[in-house]
Amino acid sequence: MRMTLASEYGCLALLAVGESDGWCKRHDIAERFTIPDAFLEQILRRLVGARFIVSRRGADGGYQLARAASEIVIADVVRAMDGPLAPTRSVSENFYQPSPLEASVAFHTLFRRVRDAIATILEETTLEDILDVERTNRTSRSRRRAGSGNRSVARPAARRR
């Protein structure tokens, strides 16, 4: 599986919307993650179409999650943006198509295992899980920064002559 840039930015856009207390502005997402505005607009349209987020026009508008972050499964987001999670068409459960790898039972089995591992991880991860990790990392960084000014510097012991 290889995620496209659209899928990567789609995940980041969901992160920004999920972290927002109110309506999240497209400009804020674009600026935070350095996403070209026209490209972000396409991505947000796809996320709205897949019902991960809702939009509202106007000065007080923007984007909000369409449902709880705990109900947004990352596998579904990647599928909405990129299609199958499988590394090859012939091992996809939802988008099967014949491929040359089917000529080898061993390779076909290997890539089915790869698909299963990727799918399991992404199916078990929700946007809420991602938001929790982001909050934890942000808190840890803040504590380290706050504590760095209060540390005493260890000095080497004086040498005896």
42-91: per-residue pLDDT in tens? 999 999 999 999 999 998 899 999 999 999 999 999 999 998 888 888 89
**What does the pLDDT read at residue 156?**
46
Mean pLDDT of the chain: 89
Structure-block tokens of residue 61: 């508008």
Task: Give the integer Cα–Cα distance in Å for 101 and 1.
Answer: 15
Domains and CATH numbers, the chain: 1-67 (1.10.10.10)
Residue with the larger pLDDT of the pair 143 and 73 = 73
Q: How far is CA 126 from CA 88, 121, 156, in A?
A: 24, 10, 49
User: In a 3-state reduction of DSSP, which class is residue 62?
Assistant: strand
